[in-house]
């Protein structure tokens, strides 16, 4: 007996009220080309299927079978080394990719700001994306209740130095943050991993009820309990990247029985399906039989490879596979199915988003002790030390070098300490990347909010340092000189902060960030004019252009001028005429007096703006240029593979791989 696609699915396809997401994938293939001339791995092999609004689909398979790869290739989130082919159709239209707000995606890793409470996180997320305040409070309460987060609503989430909510609660929070806008298309990568069976059921039930509101939900899942499995409407069973079964979840039992692998009464269906296709169970069975713990069971007569081959053959020749193709054709020709405006992530205005992001970021910075408070404390301690070492430095001949050294230390080391905020930068960038991909807000809004919210902390940091050092060392007296020193340090620290954000956007992890950031600031120190005078720097490269784009060189020149112009120092021999500050600057410290100290300050401010613009450009380039590079890489790889024996591809007769384009996404075929 062949299993028919139920009339409920057929009805769903035809109903076209309101926006809804009809998603289909056709001959979806993902390849992992070898870096040498080795064999290319097929992570996904010609998958075809569809997901409908109102239905909850599970993607199951043994570990490494390609579940996450499948979800990521639908969402356009595969890493750059994977090449994809085939089509993804949303409401009958081929889509290059489904990122930036078209699909809400809950990843395996929970990326949240640990210093906020559960309720605050949900509330900020709602304010960022919902258009008006109306009903927002109600939506927040409902979402908390829907995912059973009432008990931990006021608990801090926790981060690298703060113990917070449990892993299961964090996972439910990650889901809550995405379902708050009721997205039309929701992907979840193993949302029940780490949850106990009751919590897993709770989460699956919540997702099912969301699906019932004409939402299309696809989730990968490892080993669902019988209760959780019963909640799925549809099932895609993968083995080594191939479809073993695709259809309604309940009739899969019949499919397996017809193929000669009925589910034993003592075993749950989901467990049975996975055992049939998981090669690791060959070893488990052999080990159990070897240790006389079991005598052998019905399905142990065949190896997993044999079972898998039979199931693949049965599915490929089944009406289920035929119907899947027929349905996809139906989607592309059915009038009324084309809804261009599926979920677009956020519906809030950018001004509102900016205010919410500033507030959220400020709250995070003020609660996370490691973000700024720890650094402020260290700045105060170091400033007291500097103040004591250079205490009342005076205006003797030897004070010239002492003043120079003190200025060099403040401009160099004090700004260097900005690197201490790196763990928090990395955490924030991760949150930005996740939210950006899900379309919560734009790059510009994020950069502006980050700068505004961090500025008060940088002011406190600079002000406290300058207050201590200025009066202990007894720099050039006068309010305007004091203010100059404060603004100079503030701008210099802001530049290093921005530089660290640039590094955080470029490197994949904390360790690399610290190493790259420290190396960069080290180079800036070496060419700032303290360790080697500016006129003595090798002209090519170090002087032009490095010393001119070095914030520290401008900052130090300004600081020296601020301190020394107008001062007089003792000469090297007693009784000699006094040395003017201007002479000391130009002759001993190699500082050009052709421009005033205020131009030095302007140069530091310009470098600060340039770094923020660079940060913006990098984030934008990652979004815009990466797809272009990936298109080129995909075309080149596929051309190369086609020219190499054995002939490629084999999965689809109807589609050519030469026409692929776009980032990590299944692309148009000709």
In this structure, what token pair is assigned to residue 169?
């609660």
Least separation in angstroms between CB 222 and ligand ATP: 6
Report residue 190 CA to chain centroid gap: 17
Least separation in angstroms between CB 210 and ligand ATP: 23
- Residue number with CB closer to ligand ATP (3 or 43): 43
CA distance 641 to 649: 8
Can the peptide bond before residue 153 be classed as cis, meaning omega within 30 degrees of 0?
no
- Residue number with CB closer to ligand ATP (82 or 321): 82
Least separation in angstroms between CB 61 and ligand ATP: 5
CA distance 163 to 537: 50
- Residue number with CB closer to ligand ATP (63 or 596): 63
Residues that bind ligand ATP (CB under 6 A): 32, 43, 61, 63-69, 79, 81-82, 222
Report residue 267 CA to chain centroid gap: 39
541 bridge partner residues: 545
Grouping H, G, I as helix, E, B as strand and the rest as coil, residue 569 is strand
Sign of CA dihedral 490, 493, 495, 498: negative
| Burial label, 17 (beta-carbon count in 10 A; 0-12, 13-18, 19+) | exposed
If you search the block for the tokens 């007089």, which residue do you land on?
568
The answer to whether 242 and 45 are in contact (CB under 8 A) is: yes
- Residue number with CB closer to ligand ATP (91 or 664): 664
CA distance 653 to 651: 7
- Residue number with CB closer to ligand ATP (305 or 401): 305
Least separation in angstroms between CB 441 and ligand ATP: 28
- Residue number with CB closer to ligand ATP (67 or 172): 67
Least separation in angstroms between CB 192 and ligand ATP: 12
- Residue number with CB closer to ligand ATP (280 or 306): 280
- Residue number with CB closer to ligand ATP (111 or 549): 111
CA distance 652 to 45: 9
Least separation in angstroms between CB 157 and ligand ATP: 24
Least separation in angstroms between CB 120 and ligand ATP: 31
84 bridge partner residues: 30
CA distance 499 to 521: 9
Least separation in angstroms between CB 108 and ligand ATP: 7
Report residue 59 CA to chain centroid gap: 23
CA distance 534 to 267: 78
């Amino acid at each position: 007996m062949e299993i028919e696609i139920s009339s409920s699915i057929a009805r769903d396809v035809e109903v076209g009220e309101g926006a809804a997401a009809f998603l289909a994938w056709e001959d979806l293939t993902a390849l992992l080309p070898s870096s040498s001339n080795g064999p290319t791995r097929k992570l996904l092999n010609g998958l075809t299927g569809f997901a409908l609004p109102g239905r909850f689909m599970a993607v199951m398979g043994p570990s490494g079978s390609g579940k996450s790869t499948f979800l990521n290739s639908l969402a356009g989130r595969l890493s750059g080394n994977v090449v994809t082919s085939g089509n993804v159709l949303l409401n009958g239209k081929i889509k290059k990719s489904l990122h930036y707000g078209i699909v809400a995606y809950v990843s395996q890793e929970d990326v949240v700001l640990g210093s906020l409470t559960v309720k605050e996180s949900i509330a900020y997320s709602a304010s960022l994306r919902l258009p008006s305040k109306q009903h927002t409070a109600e939506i927040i309460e409902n979402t908390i209740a829907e995912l059973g987060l009432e008990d931990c609503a006021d608990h801090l989430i926790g981060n690298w130095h703060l113990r917070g909510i449990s892993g299961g609660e964090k996972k439910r929070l990650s889901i809550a943050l995405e379902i708050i806008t009721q997205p039309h298309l929701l992907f979840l990568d193993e949302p029940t991993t780490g949850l106990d069976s009751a919590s897993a059921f709770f989460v699956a039930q919540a997702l099912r009820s969301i699906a019932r509101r004409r939402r299309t939900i696809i989730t990968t899942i490892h080993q669902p309990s019988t209760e959780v499995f019963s909640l799925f409407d549809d099932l895609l069973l993968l083995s080594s990247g191939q479809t073993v079964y695709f259809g309604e979840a309940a009739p899969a039992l019949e499919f397996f029985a017809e193929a000669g692998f009925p589910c034993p009464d003592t075993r749950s269906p989901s467990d049975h399906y996975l055992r049939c296709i998981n090669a690791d169970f060959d070893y488990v069975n052999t080990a159990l039989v070897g240790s006389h713990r079991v005598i052998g069971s019905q399905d142990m007569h065949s190896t997993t490879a044999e079972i898998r081959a039979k199931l693949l053959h049965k599915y490929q020749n089944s009406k289920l596979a035929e119907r899947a193709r027929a349905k996809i054709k139906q989607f592309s020709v059915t009038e009324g199915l084309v809804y261009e405006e599926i979920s677009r992530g956020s519906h809030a205005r950018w001004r509102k988003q900016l205010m919410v992001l500033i507030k959220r970021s400020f709250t995070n910075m003020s609660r996370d002790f490691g973000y700024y408070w720890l650094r402020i404390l260290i700045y105060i301690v170091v400033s007291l030390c500097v103040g004591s070492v250079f205490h009342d430095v005076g205006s003797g001949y030897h004070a010239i070098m002492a003043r120079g050294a003190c200025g060099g230390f403040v401009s160099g080391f004090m700004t260097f300490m900005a690197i201490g905020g790196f763990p928090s930068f990395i955490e924030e960038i991760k949150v930005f990347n996740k939210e950006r991909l899900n379309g919560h807000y734009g790059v510009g809004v994020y950069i502006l909010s980050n700068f505004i919210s961090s500025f008060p902390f940088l002011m406190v940091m600079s002000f406290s340092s300058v207050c201590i050092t200025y009066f202990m060392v007894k720099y050039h007296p006068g309010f305007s000189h004091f203010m100059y020193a404060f603004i100079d340090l503030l701008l210099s620290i802001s530049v290093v902060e921005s530089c660290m954000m640039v590094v955080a956007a470029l490197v994949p992890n904390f360790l690399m960030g610290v190493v790259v950031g420290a190396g960069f600031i080290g180079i800036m120190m070496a060419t700032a004019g303290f360790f080697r005078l500016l006129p003595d720097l090798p002209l090519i490269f170090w002087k032009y252009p490095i010393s001119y784009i070095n914030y520290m060189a401008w900052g130090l020149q300004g600081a020296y001028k601020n301190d020394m112009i107008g001062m007089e120092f003792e000469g090297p021999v007693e009784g000699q005429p006094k040395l003017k500050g201007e002479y000391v600057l130009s002759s001993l410290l190699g500082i050009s007096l052709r421009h005033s100290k205020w131009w030095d300050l302007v140069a530091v401010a310009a470098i600060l703006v340039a770094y923020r613009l660079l940060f913006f450009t990098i984030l934008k380039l990652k979004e815009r240029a990466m797809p272009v590079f990936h298109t080129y890489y995909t075309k080149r790889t596929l051309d190369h593979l086609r020219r190499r024996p054995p002939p490629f591809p084999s999965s689809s007769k109807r589609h050519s791989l030469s026409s692929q384009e776009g980032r990590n996404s299944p692309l148009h075929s000709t």
